[in-house]
Amino acid sequence: MPMRHIISVLLENEAGALSRVSGLFSARGYNIESLTVAPTEDASMSRMTIVTRGSEEVIEQIVKQLNKLIEVVKVADLNEGSHLERELMLVKVKAQGEWREELKRMSDIFRGRIIDVADGTYTVELTGNGAKLDAFLEALDASVILETVRTGACGIGRGERILKV
Amino acid sequence: MELTGAEITVRCLQEEGVEFAFGYPGGAVLYIYDEIFKQDKVKHVLVRHEQAAVHAADGYARATGRVGVALVTSGPGATNAVTGIATAYMDSIPMVIISGQVPTPAIGLDAFQEVDTVGITRPCVKHNFLVKDIKDLAVTIKKAFHIAATGRPGPVLVDIPKDVTTHKAPFDYPKRITLRSYNPVTKGHPMQIKKAVKLLLSAKRPFVYTGGGVILSEASNQLAKLVKQLGVPCTSTLMGLGGYPETDRLHLGMLGMHGTYEANMAMQHCDVLLAVGARFDDRVIGNPAHFNQEKRQIIHIDIDPSSISKRVKVDVPIVGDVGQVLEELTKQLQASKERGDQHALKTWWTQIELWRSKNCLNYDRSSKIIKPQFVIEKLYEVTKGDAYVTSDVGQHQMWAAQYYKFDKPRRWINSGGLGTMGFGLPAAMGVKMAFPKANVACVTGEASIQMCIQELSTCKQYHLPIKVITLNNRYMGMVRQWQQFFHGNRYSESYMDALPDFVKLAEAYGHVGMRIEKPSDVEGALKEAFKLKDKLVFMDFLTDQTENVFPMVPGGKGLSEMILAEDL
Ligand SMILES: Cc1ncc(C[n+]2csc(CCOP(=O)(O)OP(=O)(O)O)c2C)c(N)n1
């Protein structure tokens, strides 16, 4: 059964490193649900979070193939222990008439923040795991959603689990 | 003192002890060529096509175990090199390719002869670099050699923009280099080795399956020790031939799609399999589902963790250098009081000898037409089994692999993974440059040889007296064989029409040409050719047009479902 896995990768912060990873996934036919990357506190390194799906064998190969890339320093399959996952979403909604109040309330319930207010629109910022963001969108009437943008998940192990060089 | 990028590049090659750089000049590498001109430590070999430069560097690397070096210009120079790079990548050959690039300010502007070389080659190199800053040049070249030669070897490309070759920096070549992100494991895990020893001693039908990793890791002696200590049968893949002496009784010949009956049957029916530097490739085990029908325990030694449990689930994975792990294994086996089940082993050998008695490589030796197998057998005899044999791709490649018995590593040089027609002749050039006194034969077909035939000119210029053994069946034989078996005898576009007169062609290039049409002339002609020590001899053997390679495991079938010559 293809399971959803979150894989964290520490890699040298060098030009082309990202395309090596994305190239690996397309060349070997691995699935990518989302991929996020940014420099870490040590500017020489970036951290990438990849959400993928695959059987146990495929995930094992993904981890090995990632490790094989010369610029990859460390790889962890976060699913091997307990972990946290967060994603950021911005949603622009039509906010007119009675909807203005309603949208404010909805955003509060989901612990969202309205970060931009215009005549006819609100922009709501929401973080959480993917399911929570989905739930928020489902709770809204489809006709009020003007635009959404999501970062893709980033993940970290709980407690003592640390991915560092 | 400050040096230019071009000077630094050549100095780095000198520091690495590079004997030969195979290459072809062009605009983006003019400054580098200028520096090549001013020195004579690194000898440049001018090929006639960049693909050949890379194949020649590759042949040199395969024969010597050292890093091969190729030098090409930007754009078309780099794209011509890609086939060679991919060939080396598939067979894990250590190589450094230096390519010129348009000047940094022009990158991305569709400049003349600009291609994204790093992008194009990314999927077929172990690693590649674009050097944008002269300060990084020397250390990048150091990294390239380090990465190419260590761990699972492979080609590394360094792309150098033209302006960087004119910029200046102090030259300081690092003696050693460490990379935090790259530390291949060489020593096998002791617990895993212990498990392997136990499993080997418990085996009733043990089998040792060895691949190119044995050659790459220089582990032939360690392998022979272990196999002889256990007294168990072994086999080699196409890439592993010569890793274990083929004339030894314990060796069952090559396995796989065109492997021997006994090797394939033993592979299918063993109960404990020791896989050494091999990767369970589709041309080796056939259909994995069929392979898995038999229960067996597998120990797999490989330097590359991603090769383990990729196509076949493994019970005892051992990541490490093949030679080191084999040595440790043998030590522990010797130290162990146990000796394994000798009775079972005897029964197993009886079975194997029964398979062997099928004599699956037999062919019609009384034929009035030259049989290709016969040419290879005679080549083996005339060269006393001690030649370096390169090959192209097709039936002739399989016959060379089957009928030339390789007793030493690095003697059999072919494109196993990518299957690149055109590889044989330039690879032979690299071998001959490395070992000028050795006999070097290129076994080829009339189709393959035409893919890099222009290199006959390079051979003339550098006095490379290679013997080109063309098994001329007037067909792309391997294609024709598949069309005969699987496409209802429709020989679509596989007939080689309008062939040149190879004898005249060889002569036009300044070499000796021979055409051999009768079986009775084969041996004499070969002897004569090898006597011409300082001549390249192009031997055009007119062979049986419809001969097929047997045994054959058809695509999608299992190892024990071979077609044998006698079945037809
Ligand atoms: C560059 C390249 N193109 C196509 C092929 C597919 N191919 C494999 S074998 C073969 C025929 C080779 O014919 P020849 O060199 O005459 O050798 P023979 O099989 O007749 O011995 C072809 C076309 C290949 N391996 N490499």
Q: Are residues B165 and B309 in the same domain?
A: no
Q: Are residues B195 and B344 in the same domain?
A: yes
ipTM of model: 0.94
Strand partners, B3: B169
- C-beta atoms of B181 and A70 within 8 A: yes
Indicate the residue of A16, A57, A72 with minimum beta-carbon distance to B118. Answer: A16
Instruction: Count how many domains chain B has.
Output: 3
Q: What is the mean pLDDT of residues B552-556?
A: 95
Among B7, B50, B246, B455, the one annotated catalytic = B50
- Nearest-Cα distance to chain A for B305, in Å, is 6
- C-beta atoms of A73 and B306 within 8 A: no
Please indicate whether residue B486 is annotated as part of the active site. no
Show which of B311, B330, B356 is a domain's final residue. B356
**Chain segment B110-121, per-residue pLDDT in tens:** 999 999 999 999
Q: Are residues B208 and B332 in the same domain?
A: yes
Q: Does B288 touch chain A (CB under 8 A)?
A: no
Show which of B142, B170, B198 is a domain's final residue. B170
Domain extent for B516: 372-549
Coil/strand/helix, residue B188: coil
Q: Are residues B277 and B316 in the same domain?
A: yes
Tokens standing for residue B7: 């000077």
pLDDT recorded at residue A85: 96
Give the CATH number, domain containing residue B313: 3.40.50.1220
Q: Are residues B196 and B294 in the same domain?
A: yes
Show which of B170, B205, B220 is a domain's final residue. B170
Complete DSSP assignment for B120-187 = HHGGGSSEEEE--SGGGHHHHHHHHHHHHHSSS--EEEEEEEGGGGTSEEE----S---BTTB----S
Q: Does B304 touch chain A (CB under 8 A)?
A: yes
A16 to chain B: which residues are within 8 Å by CB?
118, 122, 130
Q: Are residues B25 and B156 in the same domain?
A: yes
Q: Are residues B163 and B213 in the same domain?
A: no
Question: Distance between CA A49 and CA A29 in Å, rounded?
Answer: 18
Question: In this model, does residue B568 exceed pLDDT 80?
Answer: no
Q: Are residues B344 and B432 in the same domain?
A: no
Q: What is the mean pLDDT of residues B507-520?
A: 98
Question: Distance between CA A89 and CA A134 in Å, rounded?
Answer: 10
pLDDT band at A2 (very low <50, low <70, confident <90, very high): confident
pLDDT recorded at residue A58: 96
Give the list of residues 6+ apart from residue B120 with CB closer than 8 angstroms, or none: B78, B79, B82
Tokens 């690397």 locate to B61
Q: Is residue B53 part of a domain?
A: yes
**C-alpha closest to that of B433 among B470, B464, B405:** B464
Q: Are residues B207 and B343 in the same domain?
A: yes
Q: Is residue B566 part of a domain?
A: no
Q: Is residue B181 part of a domain?
A: no
**Chain segment A81-130, per-residue pLDDT in tens:** 999 999 999 999 999 988 899 999 999 999 999 999 999 999 999 999 99
**Chain segment B379-419, per-residue pLDDT in tens:** 999 999 999 999 999 999 999 999 999 999 999 999 999 99
Q: Are residues B352 and B267 in the same domain?
A: yes
Give the ligand 1 atom nearest the CA of B473: 20
- Helix spans in B322-475 (H): 322-335, 342-356, 372-382, 395-403, 424-434, 455-461
Q: Is residue B338 part of a domain?
A: yes
Tokens 């006194």 locate to B437
Please indicate whether residue B113 is annotated as part of the active site. yes
Q: Are residues B427 and B533 in the same domain?
A: yes
Q: Are residues B290 and B202 in the same domain?
A: yes
Question: Distance between CA B128 and CA A15 in Å, rounded?
Answer: 11
Q: Does A26 touch chain B (CB under 8 A)?
A: no
